[in-house]
Structure 1
Amino acid sequence: MNRFAPIGLFLAAAIGFPCATLAATATSPAQQDIQHVVDAFQKAIVAKDGKTLGGLFLPQGGAWFTVLSDDSYARIKARSPSAPKYKQGSYTEFVQMVATSKEAMEEKFSNVRIDTDGAVASVYFDFVFLLNGAQNNRGSETWHLIKTDGGWKITSMTYSANLPPKG
C-alpha cells in the first residue's frame, strides 16, 4: 500500500508506530486504558499483526490524513509537480500495508499526551517511523478515540510527514 503515491513508502509510517514508547503520565483509569491502546498499536506494527492493529480502530471508519511538512512538500514537488500537500487514507490501507510488508517497521513515540473526559479522548505525540531500522519519516500525530462497549477505539488519525534530510 502506498500512503502517498508520489513518494512510495515514505509514509509507511505513520502513523506512528512500537516498543520505545515514552508513556504519558496516565493518572486516571481512562488514561491508563488509552495508554494500553497506544502500546498495542506500536507492538502490532513491529509484529505485523494486522488483526490486532485493525481491532484498535472503530470499524465504521473515520478520518485519516497525512500532511507533508513544507520542506518535504517542496522536495517532493520538485520531483513531481502535481504532488499533493496532503493525502487522505484509511486505517484499513495502513493495516494491510503493515501486515503484508516485507520491511521491518517500528514507530517510536515521544511526548505522548492523553486528554480525556472518560467518553472521548485525544492523543498527541511526536513520532519517528523506522523502516528496516532507518528513519523513514518523523512528525507529530494526533488520534481521536471514543469509548465503546468493547473499549477505546481510534476514530481518526492525522499526522505530519517530515522526510529525512537528503544524504
Structure 2
Amino acid sequence: MNKHALSAALLAVLACTGPARAAAPAQAQIEQLIERFKAAIIAHDQAGLEALFVPEGGSWFEVLGEDAFRRIKARKPDLSRVHPDSFRHFAAFVAGAKQPIEEKFENVRIHTDGAVAAVYFDFVFLVDGKRNNVGSETWQLVHTNDGWKISAMAYSSYPDRAR
C-alpha cells in the first residue's frame, strides 16, 4: 500500500471513530445529568433543577395526548393542544409542591456526538406516590463550558392514562 493510500485509510478510520470516542464520556455525563434531574425533583430543589438548563434561549412544550385533549376541550373550547412553558415555572412548581413528587424514566435513549445530544424516554410522573401523568419526553442538550445543559424539552401528556 502506498503512503497516500495508507494516509487516506487512516483518516477514514479516524473520521469514523472520532465522534464515537467523544460520545462515550458524553454518554456517562448525560446519564449523570438525568440522575441529577430526577434527584432535584424528589428533593424539591428549585436551584438544582434550574442549574441543569441553559439559562436563556431554551424552549419547553407540553403536548396533550388525543384522549386528554378531547376530554378537556369539551369543557374548554379554546384549549390549545400545545402548551408552551418554561423550566423556571416547572422548577418553581417542584419547589412548592406540598406532597412528594417524582418522575420515573423508562426506555431512555441517548444520541450524542459529544457536542450536542438528544435524550428520549417514557416517563411516569408521581404525586404522593400515585401516577399523575404519563407520556414520552425528549430533551435537546448542548455541551457548554459548564457541562451538559438542557436547551429544549418537549413531552406528551396523557393524564387520563395515568390511572
The interval holding the TM-score normalised by the smaller chain is: 0.7 to 0.9
Counterpart in the other structure of 1:156: 152
Detail structure 1 runs of 4+ shifted over 3 Å in the superposition. none
Give matches, 1:134-153, under 5 Å.
134-153=130-149
The match for 2:43 among 47, 50, 55 is 47
Question: Greater share of helix residues, 1 or 2?
Answer: 2
- 1:116 pairs, out of 98, 112, 118, with 112
The equivalent residue for 1:83 is 79
Q: Cα offset for 1:102?
A: 0.8
Q: Structure 2: which amino acid aligns with 1:159?
A: Y
Aligned residues: 141
One-letter amino acid of the counterpart of residue 31, structure 1: Q
Q: CA deviation at 1:164?
A: 2.8
The normalised TM-score by structure 2 is 0.83
CA displacement at 1:51 relative to structure 2 = 1.0
| Contact kept in structure 2, 1:135 and 1:164, CA below 8 Å | no
Task: Provide the alpha-carbon RMSD of the alignment.
Answer: 1.4
Partner of residue 56 from structure 1, selected from 52, 56, 70: 52
Work out which structure has the larger RCO, using CA pairs closer than 8 Å and 6 or more positions apart in sequence.
1
User: TM-score, length-normalised on structure 1?
Assistant: 0.81
Residue 32 of structure 2: aligned partner: 36
SS in 2 for 1:143: strand
Structure 1 counterpart of 2:127, which letter? L
CA distance in 2, matches of 1:89, 1:103: 22
CA contact (8 A) 1:68 1:160 kept: yes
Q: How big is the shift at 1:61?
A: 3.4
Displacement of 1:104: 1.3
| Distance in structure 2 (CA, Å) of the matches to 1:163 and 1:100 | 21
Tell me, in whole angstroms, the C-alpha distance in 1 between the residues paired with 2:52 and 2:162: 35
**Which consecutive unaligned segments of at least 5 residues does structure 1 have?**
1-26
